[in-house]
Amino acid sequence: MDNSILTYCSISIAVLSLFFTLFGNFWCFYVTSTLTASVGATGEALGSADVYFGIWSRQHYMYSVQSTTDGTYIYAIPGCVGWGFGGYPIPYDTKWNSAKAFTILATIIGGIAMILCCGTIGDGSGKKLWPFITGSFFVACFFQCLTFLFLRSNFCSIPPTSIDSQLSLSASGCALGAGAAMGIVAACLWGVNGMLAAYITKSPPSEESLPEAPTSASADVKA
């Protein structure tokens, strides 16, 4: 197959990989947990709800109260806020901080590899970039896999609890959410693109990138 076609395929996969990496790593719908509210003094359960959390942010609800002739209604508007917003009783541990670092590294290295991949279009000398691009795709895949250290962090290993004199909140651990699923897809795509880039690296250059042989007429003039 022509290397130019494979190059466009690699660029397309890299764009998809970066998309899933960004949304998967930085979205607050990374994992889901069931929060249970209970009375602090008696422990009587008041109710439970499924909420979402991310490596960098968490789901947060803003409430709007509207009074009508039929009564008073409370509307919950979901959104994403940083973990520092409003405080949260879970300290960052080494695995959580490592997962945050790997989200950044996977995004930066994958993005650089995608840009370099675009730079090989129509450039015969771009063949020299493919070994570096191949390694970058595999490194992005590796770092993306390491972002799942978050699932072994304080947040998922120790059920978060916030207790005051009146209310107790506890969580049931972590289950994979849409963000984690997108992270899995991103890791697979980076790996597949690394294998495709390795194939392009070892394949012979296409005829368009080969230098033109001198014609007989030009050879006679030089003679």
Q: How many other C-beta atoms are found inside a 10 Å radius of the C-beta of residue 108?
A: 12
H or E element, residue 109: helix 94-119
Q: Which tokens belong to 44? A: 């009587």
pLDDT at residue 5 greater than cutoff 80: yes
| Mean pLDDT lowest among 5-14, 44-53, 125-134 | 44-53
For the range 211-218, what are the long-range contacts, defined as Cβ-Cβ under 8 Å and sequence gap of 24 or more? 211/124
pLDDT at residue 182 greater than cutoff 80: yes
Which 8-state DSSP code applies to residue 148? Answer: G
Mean pLDDT score, 167-195: 85
> pLDDT confidence of 53, banded at 50, 70, 90?
confident
Query: How many whole angstroms separate alpha carbon 171 and alpha carbon 160?
Result: 6
Better pLDDT: 21 or 35: 21
pLDDT at residue 131 greater than cutoff 80: yes
Residues found in the chain:
223
Give per-residue pLDDT as tens, 24-43.
Answer: 999 888 888 776 766 555 66
Query: How many whole angstroms separate alpha carbon 203 and alpha carbon 74?
Result: 63
Taking alpha carbons only, the member of 26, 28, 76 closest to residue 52 is 28
Q: Which tokens belong to 5? A: 């076609």
Contact between 185 and 20 (Cβ < 8 Å): yes
Cβ burial of 210 (10 Å; 0-12, 13-18, 19+) is: exposed
Mean pLDDT score, 68-88: 68
Mean pLDDT score, 55-64: 75
**What pTM was estimated for this model as a whole?**
0.74
pLDDT at residue 113 greater than cutoff 50: yes
Beta bridge partners of 195: none
